[in-house]
Amino acid sequence: MSGAAFDYLRAGDVGQALAAGARPGAAYLAGGTDLMPLWKARAEAPGLVVDISRLPLAGIGVGDEGVLRLGALARLSDVAADPAVAGRWPLAVEAIRASASGQVRNMGTVGGVLMQRTRCAYFRNDALACNKRAPGSGCGARAGENRGHAIFGASAACCATHPSDLAVALVALDAEIEAAGRGGTRRIAAGELHRLPEATPEADTVLELGELITAVEVPPCPGTRSTYLKVRDRASFEFAVVSVAAVLRVQDGRIAHARLVAGGVAPKPWRLAPSEAALLGKAPTEDAFAEAAALAVEGAEPLAHNGFKIELLSRAVRRALQTVGAPA
């Protein structure tokens, strides 16, 4: 890899990391599985690399109230192998195991996978127009090759999709993100971490300059069944064309809790709230699942080459509901 010179700092504690990370042009480095490939493709060019990989943020544990706490530097493979996570939050494990490859999961971190850049091939190629990489240059995908692009939440400036599988699952699990900044610590609902592109697609999340994800907390979900369904072009090391995280709790023959979140269809994990609302109070029947699947694609705005995602998403939602709604 060659390019412009940059400075490097290995942070000794969170305070030092935050001070350095607030400098314009700084980038945090943990496992490097997202930053390094984008840097090689010249989609990223940090002037300061703040190495946070040695910070004490890799814990995995369940608190007294049954809340799962994942340190931001917990390796994905370690999370997936943890017996408590596998037994009580299997949706997170399914999403992790559907991600990338074993080698990447051994290096990738919980915080890093949430901070994966929303991207497409135009973002990764500096010879093509991309407002995310070069604001004001245009969005080449809108009139170009857009098979993998968004059908919800896009703007005239950007129609790329968010790639993280775990982010989709965490939204379905009602997780919260803990973020530290120089002004203190705040909590962000997982569904509010990522933002829509609107006129400023270069900003993927609501984090402020220098803010650092320190942990993710996932509440208990007793009595629920869940599944993560990922449709992709090849069996491994591939982003989702469409994915669905589904969580249901059936009580006394009726659906008492429902979460449906789609990936691969928007610039952020896309919660299918109308489908969720339609399921509540109903028996888990094929008719109820068909109605929810139909509602899941209402308002979709496909581009020239990705209209197939509408039918694919509807079918994926129905299949996921059949999986979690089937008799135990």
pTM for the complete prediction? 0.97
Regarding beta strands 212-218 and 68-71, do their DSSP bridges make them parallel or antiparallel, or are they unpaired? antiparallel
CA end-to-end span of the chain, whole Å?
52
- The candidate with the shortest Cα–Cα distance to 118, out of 46, 228, 200, is 200
Res 117: pLDDT:
95
Res 326: pLDDT:
87
The verdict on residue 180 lying in a domain is: no
The verdict on residue 265 lying in a domain is: yes
The verdict on residue 237 lying in a domain is: yes
Neighbours of 235 (CB within 10 A): 6
d(CA 128, CA 166): 29
CATH number for the domain that contains residue 258? 3.30.390.50
Res 1: pLDDT:
46
The verdict on residue 246 lying in a domain is: yes
The tally of CA atoms less than 13 A away on the side-chain side of residue 18 is 16
Q: What is the pLDDT along the chain (328 residues), one digit of tens a residue?
A: 467 899 999 999 999 999 999 999 999 999 999 999 999 999 999 999 999 999 999 999 999 999 999 999 999 999 999 999 999 999 999 999 999 999 999 999 999 999 999 999 999 999 999 999 999 999 999 999 999 999 999 999 999 999 999 999 999 999 999 999 999 999 999 999 999 999 999 999 999 999 999 999 999 999 999 999 999 999 888 999 999 999 999 999 999 999 999 999 999 999 999 999 999 999 999 999 999 999 999 999 999 999 999 999 999 999 999 999 988 6
Q: Please give the DSSP secondary-structure letter assigned to residue 127.
A: T
The verdict on residue 320 lying in a domain is: yes
Res 2: pLDDT:
60
The verdict on residue 316 lying in a domain is: yes
- The candidate with the shortest Cα–Cα distance to 168, out of 223, 67, 77, 99, is 99
The verdict on residue 217 lying in a domain is: no
d(CA 321, CA 248): 8
The verdict on residue 235 lying in a domain is: yes
- The per-residue DSSP string of 213-231 comes to EEEEEE---TT-EEEEEEE
Count of domains in the chain?
1
Extended beta strands in the chain, E state: 7-10, 26-29, 48-51, 60-62, 68-71, 176-181, 184-189, 212-218, 225-231, 242-251, 254-263, 270-271
Containing structural domain, residue 244: 225-325
